[in-house]
Amino acid sequence: MVETSREPEPAERAFWSWLGFWVQFLVLGLCAVLGAFAASKAEAPGNYTAGMLLILGALALGFLRLKQRFDGGPLGWRNFLFVDRMASLTVVIPLFVIIGLAGLFIASAWPYGSLHDGGIALFVASGVMVFLDIKQVFDRINSQ
């Protein structure tokens, strides 16, 4: 028996779109609460700073996503995080290389603790962003 896939009904599609929009704020809220717990404990050097940075980053990202929704821009994370043009790529790559190097310097300044882990994470995230930005630009060029 061959089954054909059916298109979701508009109400079903609207529900999943609505749910996806609010789940991202739930995740960002959980990140802010996690940062508050990390900042309140402050057992290791840098826990307070890393927790506060996580809170501020989650709040800023939440406000930027909400602003993008109200401005009527594209709603996907792909359009929010990545660049589409080669000229933008020439600005983004050096910026993320500097951010990644700053992460390595932060990790080397603290031999253990939250700031060490945060510095390594910043380096890895910057590298991933560079490669995904390059992929986005060349995918767009190849599709034209």
Looking at residue 18, the DSSP 8-state letter turns out to be H
The pLDDT, as a whole number, for residue 29 is 92
18, two tokens: 């609505």
Alpha carbon distances (Å) from 88 to 50, 80, 84, 115, 124: 30, 14, 7, 30, 21
Q: What is the pTM of this model?
A: 0.67
d(CA 25, CA 15): 16
pLDDT 10s digits, 110-132: 888 778 888 899 999 999 999 99
d(CA 112, CA 27): 27
The pLDDT, as a whole number, for residue 30 is 94
- Buried b or exposed e, range 36-55, using 16+ CB within 10 angstroms: eebbeeeebbbbbbbbebbb
Contact 41, 26 (CB under 8 A): no
* Residues of the chain predicted below pLDDT 70: 1-9, 45, 75
Q: What are phi and psi of 110, to 5 degrees?
A: -115, 115
The pLDDT, as a whole number, for residue 128 is 94
Of 35, 72, 77, 75, the residue nearest 53 (C-alpha):
35
The pLDDT, as a whole number, for residue 8 is 58
104, two tokens: 């390595």
Residue type, 102: A
